[in-house]
Amino acid sequence: MNLLAALYLVGAVQALILGLALSTLRNENRQANLYLGIFLALFALDLLDYFLMQSGLYTSQPQLLFLVSPLTLAYGPLLYFYIKRLIGDQTVQAKQWRHFILVPLGYGCALPMYFIPLEARSAFIEDPQQILNALAHTVFPLEISALLSGLLSLSITIVPLIYGVVILKYLKRYRQRIRIAFADTATANLSWITQLIYLCLALSILYGISIIWSFGQASIMEIEGTQVAITTTLPITIPVLMSVMALYLAIRALRQPAILHTLLLSTPAAAPGPDARKYARSAVSPSQAQTMQQRLLEFLANSRIYNKSGLTLPELAQHLEVSSHQLSQVINEAMGTSFFDLINRLRIDEAKRLLADESERNSPILAIALQVGYKSKSAFYRLFKERTGLTPTAYRQEQLDQPPR
């Protein structure tokens, strides 16, 4: 066994163990983790397929050849349903089987390969011409077999790209939703999934490039009057990246806290600002909205509840004795902002006051961040710089070190 084959085997075992761990983990994300567990199990089979090919074991186990590739068409749907389940979207139950219809179609494309005798399959790596000779004598014409094989390779490249774009659009709408419902997005933030999707897209593009490159290096053989391009070049970087991606995905999923599903589902997902259709059935009149806005601003100023870590829209609505939907309408329509932006603007204003206070000169930045409601220094720094153009440290120096006027 060579080193590369050993790496593939380690990656397959790693992905399988992590997939089983996620599938059996009993926590709030159990249903979502089941999709991800299956996703990682397919990863394990894919890496095992590379291992068998790289190690030459397909020679002794030819019946396993061509069995795994069509399963990769399930990667996109599984990751899509994992994300939808993670944020509490219950619509994944209805007609979800349609997303997996490409898997049996993929096996249909691979069908001619299953008619090849086992003795010819065992020579696939060392002598690809032998398998082509055998393929030419199956019930399928050689031209049809080549076309179906090309369609399978194209699908394996294109389908993940399509699902990657769909998932990115879905996550964009989700980010708009959490900014309406949450003051702190750390728990509900799925930026790591966005990074993962970009990695998957890069992997798919790399796979497509490797296929194009391998055909450029292919040798042309003539089988019974038909010219066929033969290539057995393996895109070596792909299984290695798959191993790294499987480990990263499992670790982040195991650490992902539960998201407040009902909170997200009860909140309208739309950008702030006037939108007549969004609140068409709302019982809040313009005069009531103005009154509610005044009550909201007075309550925030007097209670300073915005400094409470983990504050949510329903919690604030409860204090005001209004519904979350009504409060969302007032903040989005009347005030032209989102709950997230409103609360964090007040927090940053409070932090600016503290940073400019001479008596707070020796207070650590983290202490001020915690005091105004942030759970981490990094989140505070990022939002503070977004709103002021300066880091908290630079702002303090600018305010306290400038000469008095």
CB 196 within 8 A of CB 248: yes
Q: Which of 235, 264, 293 is the last residue of a domain?
A: 264
The pLDDT-based confidence of 276 (bands split at 50, 70, 90) is very low
What is the per-residue pLDDT for 187?
Answer: 58
What is the per-residue pLDDT for 27?
Answer: 67
Q: Do 76 and 134 lie in a common domain?
A: yes
How many domains does the chain divide into? 2
Q: Which of 215, 248, 264 is the last residue of a domain?
A: 264
Q: Do 243 and 357 lie in a common domain?
A: no
> Would you say residue 160 lies in a domain?
yes
Range 376-400 burial, b when 16+ CB lie within 10 A, else e:
ebebbbebbeebbebebeebbeebe
What is the per-residue pLDDT for 396?
Answer: 92
Q: Which amino acid is at 385?
A: K
pLDDT in tens, 20-37: 888 887 766 778 888 888
Domain encompassing residue 234: 3-264
Tell me: pLDDT of 67 over 80: yes
What is the per-residue pLDDT for 264?
Answer: 45
What is the per-residue pLDDT for 302?
Answer: 93
pLDDT in tens, 150-167: 788 788 888 888 998 888
What is the per-residue pLDDT for 268?
Answer: 47
> Would you say residue 99 lies in a domain?
yes
Q: Do 185 and 254 lie in a common domain?
A: yes
> Would you say residue 290 lies in a domain?
no
> What average pLDDT does the chain have?
78
> Would you say residue 296 lies in a domain?
no
Specify the higher pLDDT residue, 187 or 260.
187
Q: Which of 244, 264, 284 is the last residue of a domain?
A: 264
Percent share of the chain, pLDDT over 90 = 20
Lowest model confidence (mean pLDDT) among 10-14, 28-32, 148-152, 365-369:
28-32
Q: Do 240 and 311 lie in a common domain?
A: no
Lowest model confidence (mean pLDDT) among 63-67, 92-96, 101-105, 324-328:
92-96
The pLDDT-based confidence of 263 (bands split at 50, 70, 90) is very low
**Residue 219, number of CB atoms within 10 A of its CB:** 11
Tell me: pLDDT of 371 over 80: yes
Tell me: pLDDT of 405 over 50: no
> Would you say residue 276 lies in a domain?
no
Q: Do 72 and 152 lie in a common domain?
A: yes
- What is the spatial distance between Cα 164 and Cα 77, in angstroms, rounded to a whole number? 10
Q: Do 18 and 70 lie in a common domain?
A: yes
Tell me: pLDDT of 216 over 70: no
Specify the higher pLDDT residue, 108 or 281.
108
pLDDT in tens, 106-134: 998 888 888 877 777 776 656 666 666 66
* CATH code for position 382: 1.10.10.60
- What is the spatial distance between Cα 33 and Cα 282, in angstroms, rounded to a whole number? 37
Paired residues of 221 in beta bridges: 228
Tell me: pLDDT of 6 over 70: yes
CB 79 within 8 A of CB 38: no
What is the per-residue pLDDT for 93?
Answer: 64
> Would you say residue 282 lies in a domain?
no
Question: Which tokens in the block code for residue 212?
Answer: 């194009």
What is the per-residue pLDDT for 353?
Answer: 93
Tell me: pLDDT of 95 over 60: yes
**Angle, CA 257 vertex, CA 256 and CA 260 arms, to 5°:** 130
Longest dimension (CA), the chain: 94
Average pLDDT over residues 258-286: 51
**Residue 307, number of CB atoms within 10 A of its CB:** 17
The pLDDT-based confidence of 238 (bands split at 50, 70, 90) is low
Q: Do 59 and 158 lie in a common domain?
A: yes
Q: Do 254 and 305 lie in a common domain?
A: no
Tracing tokens 């009550």 back to the chain, one arrives at: 295
Tell me: pLDDT of 270 over 60: no
Q: Do 310 and 388 lie in a common domain?
A: yes
Average pLDDT over residues 2-15: 81
Q: Do 73 and 203 lie in a common domain?
A: yes
Q: Give whichever of 49-53, 142-146, 342-346 has the largest mean pLDDT.
A: 342-346
What is the per-residue pLDDT for 304?
Answer: 93
The pLDDT-based confidence of 297 (bands split at 50, 70, 90) is very high
Tell me: pLDDT of 257 over 70: no
What is the per-residue pLDDT for 391?
Answer: 93
- What is the spatial distance between Cα 70 and Cα 106, in angstroms, rounded to a whole number? 5
> Would you say residue 283 lies in a domain?
no
Specify the higher pLDDT residue, 267 or 254.
254
> Would you say residue 141 lies in a domain?
yes
Average pLDDT over residues 69-93: 81
Q: Do 258 and 309 lie in a common domain?
A: no
Distances from the Cα of 215 to the Cαs of 73, 128, 209, in angstroms?
A: 22, 14, 10
Tell me: pLDDT of 149 over 70: yes
Tell me: pLDDT of 362 over 80: yes
Specify the higher pLDDT residue, 294 or 138.
294
- What is the spatial distance between Cα 287 and Cα 292, in angstroms, rounded to a whole number? 9
pLDDT in tens, 184-212: 766 566 677 777 788 777 777 776 676 66
Q: Do 153 and 218 lie in a common domain?
A: yes
Question: Which tokens in the block code for residue 359?
Answer: 């008596």
What is the per-residue pLDDT for 379?
Answer: 86
